[in-house]
Amino acid sequence: MGDDGLLRVLITNHSLANYAGTELYVRDLATRLLARGHTPIVYSTQLGLVARDLRAVTVPVTDDLNSITRPPDLIHGQHNLETMTALLHFPDTPAAYFCHGWLARIESPPRFPRILRYVAVDHTCYDRLVCEEAIPAERARVILNFVDLARFRPRPPLPAKPARALVFSNYASEDSYLGTVREACRRAGLTLDVVGLRAGNVTAQPEQLLGQYDLVFAKARCALEALAVGAAVVLCDESGAGALVTTRELEELRRLNFGVRTLNEKLEAGTLACQIARYDAADAAEVSRRVRAMAGIEPATDEIVALYREVIDEYAAGVGREGGAAAEGRAAAAYLRWLTLSRRAEREAFDHSTTARLQARVLGLPLVGRLARVVARRAAGKSIVRE
């Protein structure tokens, strides 16, 4: 940390390839840190659209930590493999680990002496940290997800009756739950569009689209952004259906980041139709006003930077140094064992899946099998030549 109090922060993430939840969290946070005079640096081994956006605003991005010749003051870790890679590369830098998901293995928090804080983006993730992952409660806290209010501006007042609806999700497609939402909208007389990765309709500027829709089907960050703009939001995704967000439920739904714990109804057209029928333009406007008052990026950044300083000060006082290199070596070995077992479990789960059985059946066909083996041999030969 410099004499001016400004910080060099290395942020890790599994991917920067597409417009998705943790990628956009990194983009927005790094942009705000830069605007405040700090030096954010972002590391991922999968670069793409979000990496391009970061570089466009002069945030350094790398897929090789050897390119960083001056160590950061702190590692803001997201996803365990990338976090551990950064910790081992920078042997005298403390860290805070941020957990964004309830289920994904990549969100599982690594245990390492220099990780002095564990942060959950909602109370569901907090429960994962302290109730399943054995993270000490005194090292864990919640910093709720945020929305960039300067980008997601309020829309004009909603009509008394909704006319246009949007599914805003990277998981929506005709092969998943889109048909169910379409049927519910048909019953309610709504036109429906979809934006997201699986639908093949990704947008870099959702803030310019959301204001064109009266009703949005979304969860988590997508729901928060739609609410900030002023659309009515029905919580919905491939894992289930939730409620229309109203002033009555807002506080509790916000604590849960409008996420998986709120999607507790079966995903059926009738269920969604009931929520559409609860549409209330005046209540939706009040929900949006409250969201904009409580979920802005600026106070969240204040809280995150204060956390960074806590970690740096504690590490300077000797916390996290106990046991030295031997303790860190044991922690790294324990992590590698966990990673090996996790990958093995994933492989075994796939081997027993319907997809694997179908793949084996297709490759067992005489012509297809011979063709696949030829392609594999050619690919292997090209790989050897490149090496």
**pLDDT digits over 75-127, tens only?**
999 999 999 999 999 999 999 999 999 988 999 999 999 999 999 999 999 99
Residue 387 confidence (pLDDT): 31
Please tell me the pTM assigned to this model.
Answer: 0.86
Residue 344 confidence (pLDDT): 86
Query: Can you spell out the DSSP letters for 221-271?
Result: HHHHHHHHHT-EEEEEETTEEEEEP-TTTHHHHHHTTT-GGG--B---HHH
**pLDDT digits over 36-74, tens only?**
999 999 999 999 999 999 999 999 999 999 999 999 999
**pLDDT digits over 278-291, tens only?**
999 999 999 999 99
Q: Which residues, including other chains, have CB under 8 Å from residue 140's CB and lie 6 or more apart?
A: 117, 118, 119, 120, 126, 129, 130
Contact of 34 with 58, CB cutoff 8 Å: yes
Query: Can you spell out the DSSP letters for 263-307?
Result: --B---HHHHHHHHTT--HHHHHHHHHHHHHH-BHHHHHHHHHHH
- pLDDT bucket at 386, cuts 50 / 70 / 90: very low
Give the residue among 29, 2, 5, 4 at the shortest CA–CA distance from 16.
Answer: 29
Q: How many angstroms separate the CA atoms of 116 and 373, rounded?
A: 50
Residue 197 confidence (pLDDT): 86
**Taking the CA of residue 10 as centre, how many other CA atoms within 13 Å lie in the half-sphere pointing to its CB?**
29
Tracing tokens 């993730």 back to the chain, one arrives at 125
